Structure 1
Amino acid sequence: MRMTRLRLFSIPALLVGLVFFAASLTPSMIPRGPLIQGVLGGLVTALGYLAARIVALIWYAADMPVLTGKAARWAVILCSVAVLVLFGWTLMSSMGWQNDLRAKMGMKLSDERGLLVMLLAAAVTFALAFAIGAAVAWLFRRLRSWFYRIMPPRRANVLGVIAVALILFVITRDGILDRVVTGLDEGYAAAQELFDTAPPPPAQAGVPGGPESLIDWGAMGQPGREFVTSGPDAQAIAAFTGRPALDPIRVYVGRADGDTAHERARLALAELQRLGAFDREVLVVASPTGTGWLDPGSHDPLEYMHDGDIATVAAQYSYLQSPLALILETTTGLDTATALLEVVHDYWKTLPPDDRPRFYVHGLSLGAWSSMYATNLFRLVNDPIDGALWAGPPFPSNFWNYVQNARDPDSPWVLPRIGDGSLVRYASHVADASDAAADWGDMRIVFLQYSSDPIVFYDPYSLWRAPPWMNEPPAEDASSHMSFMPIVTQFQLALDMALSFGAPPGHGHAYYAQDYIAPWVQVTAPADWTDADTERLKAHCDNGFQMGCTND
């Protein structure tokens, strides 16, 4: 019995797992709380343990020499002491590393009590992972013993591995995962349907979903209803600017407003025409995030700086949160953004150049990705758009990657310079896209990206090599203790993506009004606008992340 247990659990493999745990304690892009760090530590410990067991199996299968007797015991003792010293040092240092990063982001510092929470969470997580692994191993042994009855051992081993892999694939991909995704999609759809019974349709004829509107209020969905009924009106804008103002036009088509992307796009165009959107000074085609949400911190300031003489249109493509929509409904988002931009832009091109609005595109996060995809070469030549502001562009975005890799080699990866700055510029929480070697050309493109945003700077190849930004001096809100470690860095950055939405405003993936304002000024060049106006609007909108700036 004793020998069976020793074979089932390996002390050397656990030591390798603890090395992985120690590595996971080093800081990454987003500060981690004790519970999150514990879960991460437990997972990477299990991963290190598994990797060590696999290497050991290969070693034994190759009939390589192994230590035995007293030499093996002393090797285990010495390695245990070294690993425990390393683990203890990183454990004691981890709180300082995390607090250094928290201080740079203006977050509350953690204390020693979090260490106990972290260790307990890690132990539970590792135990669960170990139990799952033991169950898989048990399944393999049962299948292999059955195959032994009908075929030679070598063939039975191979088929046993294949059978277990197929069973796990079917259970996770075609069973659990499909049901979870379907449940999430239906859950978000149901949540939006529940909103149908809450507020009545707007009474104003100038609001989509109201009297004479071509868009069904009940099918618009909660994000769309909030978008078209919120934001500053003419009175609020005039009170701030001291100039006459118009009520901004906001058009939103819900996913349930049409069966296809082109059907919804044509409905959006018809509503724009009904409301006189093409008589305005500025027209913005915006792409929402996965659930259909549009950030008021971006749209409200733009309406102030253009005296309300602006129309914005968007179309919903999903009910899922952006991370799920990014993985599961990528094509839907790209198709919807392309259809909307194509239909609206094609109509806009038919209007006289001196009697049509200036045309801009915009998107945040997954909306930035789909907007960039839709803004292809045909939108940038012949009769091009006037500009774009893309915030928090996700790392897979082809156009963003193309521009990033065209940067001046002497400029940082997180805030690059592109040529002379006449076409493309970058902004962040410390840069407003005003600094460039040349004046703007006919088209203006700005990327707004925070240096601590893992949605932007995650690198799939960090499994075995450092991302480009890790080879440069750390940014203002990055830890000087961050270093690359194969496998572990990949897990850290993946976890950072999940945590980035809860980062303080101005960090991670938490984009907010103050950092949109100056880039919008650069992109849309509002008439008679001054730096003092920018600062005054920032102060007016200083009411928190995701709250817009409709308050006085």
Structure 2
Amino acid sequence: MRWSIPRSDAVDVLREQLRKQVRAPFAATAGMVVLLWASLTPSLMPRTALFQALLTALCMLAGYGAGALAGWLVRSCGGRLAGRARVIAWRVLAGVAGIGTLIVLGLSLRWENEVRDLVGVDRVGIWHLVLTVLITAVLLALLLGLSRGIRALGRSIGRFVGRFLPAAASTVIGGLIAAVLIYELAIGVGGNRLLGALDSSFATINQEFRTEIPAPTTPELTASPASSQAWEDLGRQGRVFIASAPTAADIGEFTQEPAQQPVRAYVGAGHEGVDIREEASAAVTELDALGGFDRAVINVVTGTGRGWVNENQAQALEFMWGGDTATVSLQYSYLPSWMSFVLDRQRAQDAGLALFDAVYGRWLEIPEAERPLLVVSGESLGSFGGEAAFSGAQDLATRTDGALFVGPTADNRLWSRFTEEREPGTPQVLPILDDGEIVRFADQPEQWDLPGAWEGTRIGYLQHANDPITWWSPSLALECPDWLEEERGRDVSPNVRWIPGVTMLQLGVDQFSANSVPQGQGHQFGTAPVYAWAEILPPPGWSDERTDELAVVIGDRAWLR
């Protein structure tokens, strides 16, 4: 005999299931609304509709969770909305949420355009809000579905634990076990597998390059006949770095004097995987073979992610010193910079330490009177790795002749220490350490100049006040940073406010836009490294006029991509 459910009953069952899915407790709904409003406040970078929707959905989910937890705690203590009070509370919440959200959406458009004006990008209109709302609804539904699945897992575990422990304890323990289980699967087992899978995937991309560009023939460049490194083993960014090297003629046209071909030595990860110590050793051998230790300046560069080196940094020194320079770097990952930072940042530090130690060891073998000037540099993740070879400012001053770190991350060990130890009264976005005797910070070229003397080794940090890569930190979740309590830095909206948890998410999302803004904003530094090197390691007879001229030349040069 076949049993069937009447159609009307089936509709009722479906309606009841749907109601359960969309139903939310009062406190959870209130928390979701509050963090919806908070997510629409401004931060450092303009946001596209997609990024704003992602941020809003994440904040609403966090608000839902925080509200649900608060409601559970209240109910556990005997508090409960019921009867007419419950109806009134829901009506008030609905009215406040509706009117408040319309007001905040309107304000958010004004705030968004204010930030866009500050960084110099096009304004947006009402369709930006419409698209944001639509995408947010989709993302929130997906995130709520996922979170409820995890909650269901926690309840199942709790019911099992409830056979042996009191109900209240089993509920908490079940939730904790589910959270730990999900974390271990996602971050522990899954994270390692994800890293391996991404490495394999990006290893293929690593080999892609414009096929019409042949290996160099100039003996001062890696992959030339004088080199031990094969062109196809350098990886995409390594080949870009070598192919973008200026010629002696390029430099001579600027200096109006005979110039040399700069040495560029690079070791890629190749096809066999990353072995940082082996690559560092090979990089020194390569640098030696190309004549790098016979030049006036050696620049040890820690790249970012897949091995990208900022051409504006490298070429500034090459042009200033008439080509009498050598630049050496290596590839330590197949992953883009942000993935490498999130999943395996230790590689950057290992690479920075191994490369500098290898070069420094060979440099010490040269008679002291004949040693070239030795400098280190890096941008973003490269600055994070480049610092790893040193214990502090005195160590940098003792073992190098200068350093330039551009767009440091908040995780940079030395940068964090120097910033924390700044002189009282100096802002976090532009600190002064020990009167600028060794280490200086600048957002704009004129800020390198301080009243005190900058003699001996000069260490420079080039950073922007609105660069989320520099100012994002997990501590933002619970602690207001100094840069938001002090006078706002350049091009930071006065309407930016610290909101627990939300500000951390805002700057996390901002990082994806940090390279999509004009030069001089966010994580785009343009020709600012030219002015930095002119202060840190100028050649004899160099002038401010020559710096301005070189900035124009460097800005007009087209790099390979």
Q: Identity of counterpart residues, as a percentage?
A: 30
Q: Is the 8 A contact 1:12 1:76 kept in 2?
A: no
Name the CA distance, whole Å, in 1 between partners of 2:327 and 2:260.
14
Deviation track 1:207-259 (CA, whole Å, cap 9, x = no partner) reads 21121312232222111111122121110111122111111100001123897
Q: Is the 8 A contact 2:120 2:517 kept in 1?
A: no
Residue 504 (structure 2) aligns with: 490
Shift in alpha-carbon separation, 1:224–1:436, aligned structure 2, 3 A: same
- Does 127-136 or 152-161 show the bigger shift? 152-161
Residue 45 (structure 2) aligns with: 30
Q: 2:235 aligns with which of 218, 221, 224?
A: 221
What is the TM-score with the length of structure 1 in the denominator?
A: 0.92
Q: 1:521 aligns with which of 534, 537, 547?
A: 534
Shift in alpha-carbon separation, 1:134–1:500, aligned structure 2, 3 A: same
Residue 39 (structure 1) aligns with: 54
Residue 455 (structure 1) aligns with: 469
Residue 10 (structure 2) aligns with: none
Within the alignment, does 1:534 sit opposite 2:547 as a pair? yes
Within the alignment, does 1:201 sit opposite 2:230 as a pair? no
> How far did 1:274 drift?
1.7
Name the CA distance, whole Å, in 2 between partners of 1:403 and 1:147.
50
> How far did 1:15 drift?
2.8
Q: Is the 8 A contact 2:267 2:331 kept in 1?
A: yes
Deviation track 1:405-450 (CA, whole Å, cap 9, x = no partner) reads 122222221112222222111122x334431122222110000001
Shift in alpha-carbon separation, 1:173–1:336, aligned structure 2, 3 A: same
> For 1:250, what is the secondary structure of its paired residue?
strand
> For 2:436, what is the secondary structure of its paired residue?
coil
Task: Tell me which amino acid in the other structure corresponds to 1:279.
Answer: D
Residue 119 (structure 2) aligns with: 105
> For 1:501, what is the secondary structure of its paired residue?
coil
Residue 224 (structure 2) aligns with: 210
Deviation track 1:374-416 (CA, whole Å, cap 9, x = no partner) reads 1335982795211100001111111001111122222221112
Name the CA distance, whole Å, in 1 between partners of 2:474 and 2:484.
14
Q: Is the 8 A contact 2:220 2:291 kept in 1?
A: no
Task: Tell me which amino acid in the other structure corresponds to 1:527.
Answer: P
Within the alignment, does 1:326 sit opposite 2:341 as a pair? yes
> How far did 1:81 drift?
2.6
Residue 310 (structure 1) aligns with: 325
Residue 4 (structure 2) aligns with: none
Mapping for residues 439-450 of structure 1, pairs under 5 Å: 439-450=453-464
The two structures, once aligned, show a CA RMSD in angstroms of 2.6
Task: Tell me which amino acid in the other structure corresponds to 1:236.
Answer: D
Mapping for residues 104-503 of structure 1, pairs under 5 Å: 104-145=118-159, 153=167, 156-157=170-171, 160-174=174-188, 176-195=190-209, 199-256=213-270, 260-376=275-391, 380=395, 384-428=399-443, 430-503=444-517
Shift in alpha-carbon separation, 1:38–1:377, aligned structure 2, 3 A: closer
Q: Is the 8 A contact 2:155 2:171 kept in 1?
A: no
Name the CA distance, whole Å, in 2 between partners of 1:300 and 1:347.
24
Name the CA distance, whole Å, in 1 between partners of 2:37 and 2:167.
40
Task: Tell me which amino acid in the other structure corresponds to 1:389.
Answer: L
Q: Is the 8 A contact 2:407 2:463 kept in 1?
A: yes
Task: Tell me which amino acid in the other structure corresponds to 2:470.
Answer: V
> For 2:339, what is the secondary structure of its paired residue?
helix
Within the alignment, does 1:16 sit opposite 2:31 as a pair? yes
Name the CA distance, whole Å, in 2 between partners of 1:468 and 1:520.
29
> For 2:115, what is the secondary structure of its paired residue?
helix
Name the CA distance, whole Å, in 2 between partners of 1:139 and 1:310.
61
Deviation track 1:167-203 (CA, whole Å, cap 9, x = no partner) reads 4234423554444322221111112235597754323
> How far did 1:159 drift?
5.3
Deviation track 1:461-491 (CA, whole Å, cap 9, x = no partner) reads 2112211100012222111111111111111
> For 1:541, what is the secondary structure of its paired residue?
helix
Within the alignment, does 1:58 sit opposite 2:69 as a pair? no
> How far did 1:24 drift?
0.9
Task: Tell me which amino acid in the other structure corresponds to 1:523.
Answer: I
Deviation track 1:32-81 (CA, whole Å, cap 9, x = no partner) reads 12221122112211211111111111222232x33322222223323333
> How far did 1:158 drift?
5.0
Name the CA distance, whole Å, in 1 between partners of 2:416 and 2:397.
24
Task: Tell me which amino acid in the other structure corresponds to 1:413.
Answer: Q
Residue 9 (structure 2) aligns with: none
Shift in alpha-carbon separation, 1:58–1:107, aligned structure 2, 3 A: same
* Unmatched 5+ stretches in structure 1: none
Task: Tell me which amino acid in the other structure corresponds to 1:537.
Answer: L
Shift in alpha-carbon separation, 1:178–1:403, aligned structure 2, 3 A: same
What is the TM-score with the length of structure 2 in the denominator?
A: 0.90
Name the CA distance, whole Å, in 1 between partners of 2:128 and 2:400.
52
